[in-house]
Structures are given as structure tokens and as C-alpha cells.
A and B are shown apart, each in its own frame.
Chain A
Amino acid sequence: MYGAKDIESRTGRARQPAALSDAALKRLFLWPTLGLLIAFNLFPLLYSLYLSFTDYSAISSRAPQWIGLQNYRDILNDGQLWIYFRNTGKYVVLSVAFETLVGFGMALLLRRKFFGSGIITTLILIPMMCSPVVVGLFWKMMYNPGYGIFNYLLGFPAGRGPDWLSSPKLALWAVVIVDVWMWAPYVMLLCLAGLSAIPDYLYEAAEIDRAGPLYTFWRITLPQVAPLLLIAVLFRTIEAFKTFDLVMGLTGGGPGDTTELVAVDLYRLAFLGQFNTGKSSALAYIVLVIITGVSNIYVRYLNKLKEG
């Protein structure tokens, strides 16, 4: 006769794993990734937060000295930096606005299938896949007032058009145009996904309800695409705020400081001249806070849109 206890211990033994248990296997797969994440994301994040309160310079042999909020105070009292923030704000608003308009417009044109629509969509997406540095370099050639094709396409006689990249009035617009050229396709892609998800029967119902094309657009199409459109705008806002490589390829921040965006200045502060690591960390954190704040507004609006 076996007692209940005997049976339990026997089955308990039978359950014991021959090799690795599922849990152990799970840990085995998780730890390397987690390790990488900690080493390359979490640690620098926290370490730079610490450095932002010090006077550390990456090229000096001196250990970081704690100086409290001094870096932040310096930055927020620096009139020059406020100009860069203003440049950045203007740049973000202009490029995101035009990307949304152009992207959504192209999506509306391409939503119905027609002969060649597939290849056209693919071609439109190409700029998005290029490296920003490459894009910057060849747009620099296209903007060239001597031999560039841009002025030629605008109808200026050779050599008589504006010098986009060295005119203080036009330089920021020049960067905006390139950014729109590059990223409007991204907005288009998301909008196309949103548009194709709208069921046909909603349009049939609107037709029966005697809605004209424009009214249908405002009351059906736009609200239905809005969530995806807002996500596109959110992503583009964050990215535009961090724009660096495009400016470096095109203008290097000039002429003067007309295209000097915060991210560009951050680079100068951190990696040129004094290697002012402490102060640049502080600036990076300020940018992070601003982007998080702006994103939050979007996300809140997005949630409101979803709930109604």
C-alpha cells in the first residue's frame, strides 16, 4: 500500500526537469538583452544625469566636480541658447505642418488603386530610406545657385536664383524643405494605413445620408484617420526636435546662427572645443524634458480622441 505522501513524492520526482526548466531558459534568453540595455541605455542615462550636475569635461583628466544646478542656471540664462530654441521651435512647427499636409494629401491621392499606383507609392517612399547625411549632401548640390537643379526647376535663369543655404532668410526654409521631402512619405504611409482601414460601408452610409464629398471628408474620413495621423505627427515632432545630421550636411548651422538647432548646438558643446560634457548633459536633459512634455500633450489628446 502506498500512502498519499508516497504518491506525491513519486509524482514530484517525475516532474523534475531533465535539463533546463522553462523558467531558467527564459532567464537565459532575457539576461543578455537586459545586460545590453542596462549597459548602453540605462547606465548612460543615469550617468549623464549625474554629469549634468558636475563640471566634467571628457578630455580633461580631472574627476567630475559636483556643482549642483550651475549648468542648468547657465543654460537657462544664456540668451544665445534661447535663440537656438526659437530656431528649433520654428523648424519643428514648419516641417511637421508641411509634412502632415503633403503626406496626408499624397495619401488621399494614392488611396484608390490605379495603374502604376504601387510603383508610385514605392518611389515616394525612397527618400525616407536614405541616410540623412547623404540627403544633406546631395540637396546641397541641388541648392547650389550655380549649377543646382532646384532653382532651375523653380524657373530661375542660371546663376540668378537665390542662394538658399547662405541666405539668412531662406536657410531655415531650405532645411525644412529637405525634411519635408524626406519625411512626408512617412506621414503618407501611416495615413494610407489609416485610410485603408476605413470600411467602405461608412462611405455608403454617408452617401445614403446625402453627405457631399467635402462633408464626408470632414465628418467621416478625417476623424477616422485622426488617431494614426496624430501618431505620425507625434513621431515627426520628436524626430524634428532632434534634427542634427540634416543640418550638419546642409548648412552646418549657418549662415550666422539661423539654422543652429538645439541638437546641433548640443553637439558643439559636447564634442568640439572644450568638450563641455557636464553642461551638454544638462542641455540634453532640458531637451528630453521638453520632448517628453510635448509628447504628453499629444498622447493625452490621442487618448481623448479614442475615448471621445
Chain B
Amino acid sequence: MATIQLQQVEKRFGEFHAVQPMDLTIGDGEFVALLGPSGCGKTTTLRMIAGLETVSSGRILLDNRNVTNLRGRERDIAFVFQLFALYPHMTVRQNVAFPLQTQREPKDAIERRVDEVIKMLEIGHLQYLRPGSLSGGDRQRVALARALVRRPAAFLMDEPLGALDAEFREVMRVEIKRLHLATRATTVYVTHDQVEAMAMGDRIVVMSNAVVQQIGTPQQVYYDPSNLFVARFIGSPGMNLLPGVYGDGVVTLGGGNHYPVPAPWRAAIERAAPADGRVVVGFRPESALLRADGPLAAEVYADDLHGAYTMLHLALNAADTIVHARAARELSYPIGTALHFDIAPDQVRFFDATTERAIAL
């Protein structure tokens, strides 16, 4: 298989930066998800790796071979397009065989390999149909088969589940993951769906506004977001973020709430926080602990049962800030109930309010 290296790769259209210079090293057999809102440059990045888009500057290495100026067909990568891009005038079988036929491989070898892949993806009953008469999910399977058939050095997938309906997405998500585990092919996967990225990626590259915001494992990205954008973007809902002012081991939040900072964090904040002490306290909904002696006072604004748990929307006293807190599903509170809560000390995070960067412990 292959490693992929991006060194200061950037894409400009005139003055406009589609991708700011970025570095990324993808290991052999790794599954990396490029995640970000639409227009953040993730697809452009993928297309540059594929050779479908020229690189404005920087280098792309495939298995330590400089491919920056090679055409797509000289790079030995497979690409799964968002809209599948199947050849409409060919049958499913012809579509799958196409990447081998372009290489003038012997006919019986092609037939054997095509049979193998068709069996693997369970599309045997479709093989003499044309893409036009297939459902979205079946088209996706054919597109995957066409990508798999030639055992490429790397797989690039551009929102491959984007065109499927919700129910089928999950099925195909699992299939792609299993396929990856079975083939161990280096895979770069573009998505705007954080659940998909978390579920599938060995590592996630979070992008926004043409800039890489964070590169890390799903755990790192979720629990240790490197800045406020990642904290907000990952998770549904995202991290609770409460702006306040730090002083003497306490963060004074809007509306008169005071949050005593856990001891290990104090030194870090004192070292890193700006002179005016403006910081942002961050915590996940599941890190909010409802306790009568909790330091933070709030009032129930809404209370939704999500089946397995109850999501409380808490209005911090006298502040128009809503905090999401996850509570046991048995709990239910009338609107307006006054509550106190604390934040699990090992799960609280702090950010510099000016630079929006995370403060390291």
C-alpha cells in the first residue's frame, strides 16, 4: 500500500485561497477523514491528491515519490466520486472492468478479478444492468467495486455517502469501514458529517476556511479540540463554551456565576491566559454533573428526552447563555426549575478568548 505526504500544499485561484498551505502525512493503511463545513477546502485537497486539480505550490509525495506534477492516471490512486460518476452507457460489469481494460490486462485475468470484486460487494445480480436503473446504494457499491478492482495504492473518497438517504448511509458506512479493514488500503475520506468522520477515521483532519484546524484521532478532536472552532464543530451539540474572566483560581462567568478552576489547571491558565484574564470554559454535555452543591446555578430552559438520555437546556442564571447537559433518562424537570451543576474536573477545557486557542495543561 502507500503513504501520502502533503508538504506545504496550497491551492489559489487568483487572490483567493481555496487551501492554505498545509502539511499532512498519512501512514500506510491509515484511514484519514477530512472533515469540515462545505467550502472549507477539503474536497479541493482531495482532488489535489488525486491529480484532478493542480497544486499552486508545495509537494505531494506518494510512497516518497514526488507526484506533484503527474496526471491523475499516472498516480495509481482510486477515487470514489460523490455522485458516483459511473459510465452510464456501460453495464455494471463493464464499469467495474474498465480500470483494468485501460491497462490492456489479459482478458481472463480481468474476468477473474472482476468476478472477485463483484462477489465481494455482492452486486452479482446487477452486473448486466446499467447504472441508470440502480438505486443510490447499489450505484455506490458499483463505484466502490470499480475503485477496488485494480488494488490501487490509495483510495480517495469524496463524500461517498452524501447522495444516499439517512438509513442507507449507516449501512454503507459500516461496509466501507469493513472494506477498509479487509483491504487495509490507505484511504482519505472527505465528509462534512462529523459522525461519519468520528466513526470511520483513524485520524480526523478538521478544516475550516481553507485552513487545517486540527489533526488528531477522533478522541483527541472530541476531547481536546485545539480551538473554539473545533470545539463547536465536533459533537452534536458542540462543546458548551462559557466566556469569563479568570482571577485567583476562579473564572467569573457572565451573570454572576463563579467557577472554581480545578487545581491542575490554575498554573496552566496563569501561564497562558492573556493579561486581561479573558478565557472560555469548555465542557461536553456529558461532562456537566447535576449536583445540589455544584458551583454553577442554572434554570431549566427546556428538557428533551432523546431516548437513552435526557438533554437539558440550562439557562445560566441571569445570563442569556444556554448550556447543554446530559442527564439520566429517568430525570425530567419542569421548565424553570432551579438547578446547580458542576463540571467533571478531568473533562473541563480552557481556551484563550482572544486567540481562540486551547490552553494546554
Partner-B contacts on A (CB < 8 A): 199, 201-202, 204-212, 215, 219-220, 223-224, 308
Contact = CB atoms under 8 A, between A and B. Distances in A.
B87 A205 contact: yes
B52 to A, nearest CB: 5
Given A207-B52, A208-B78, A219-B90, 8 more contacts: A201-B81, A202-B85, A204-B85, A205-B85, A207-B71, A210-B103, A212-B102, A215-B102
A212 B74 CA distance: 10
B29 to A, nearest CB: 21
B73 A207 contact: yes
Interface residues of B, number: 27
B87 A202 contact: yes
A223 B89 contact: yes
B98 A204 contact: no
B146 interface: yes
B55 interface: no
A206 B305 CA distance: 50
Contacts of B146: 209
Contacts of A210: 73-74, 76, 99, 102-103
B77 interface: yes
A209 B145 CA distance: 12
10 contacts: A205-B85, A207-B52, A208-B52, A208-B73, A208-B77, A209-B73, A209-B102, A212-B73, A224-B89, A308-B130
A209 B99 contact: yes
Contacts of B74: 210
Interface string B38-82: 000000000000111000000000000000000111101111010
Counting from the closest, the 7 A-B pairs by CB-CB distance are: A209-B99, A205-B85, A210-B73, A201-B85, A211-B102, A207-B72, A208-B79
A123 to B, nearest CB: 33
Most B Cβ at <10 Å: residue of A205, A208, A211, A224: A208
B310 interface: no
Please classify the interface of chain A as helix (H, G, I), strand (E, B), loop, or mixed, using the class held by over half of its residues.
helix
A308 B91 CA distance: 9
B250 interface: no
A100 to B, nearest CB: 19
Given A207-B73, A209-B98, A220 B87 contact: yes
Interface string B75-117: 0111101010111111100000011011100000000000000
B71 to A, nearest CB: 7
Contacts of A209: 73, 98-99, 102, 146
Contact of B81 (A204, A212, A215): A204
A209 B89 CA distance: 16
Contacts of A201: 81, 83, 85
Contacts of A212: 73, 102
Nearest to A198: B88
A175 B72 CA distance: 47
B229 to A, nearest CB: 31
Contacts of B73: 207-212
B52 A204 contact: yes
A270 to B, nearest CB: 46
A205 B89 CA distance: 14
A201 B72 CA distance: 13
Nearest to B86: A205
A161 to B, nearest CB: 47
A201 B86 CA distance: 9
Contacts of B83: 201
Contacts of B71: 207
A287 B74 CA distance: 55
Contacts of B90: 219
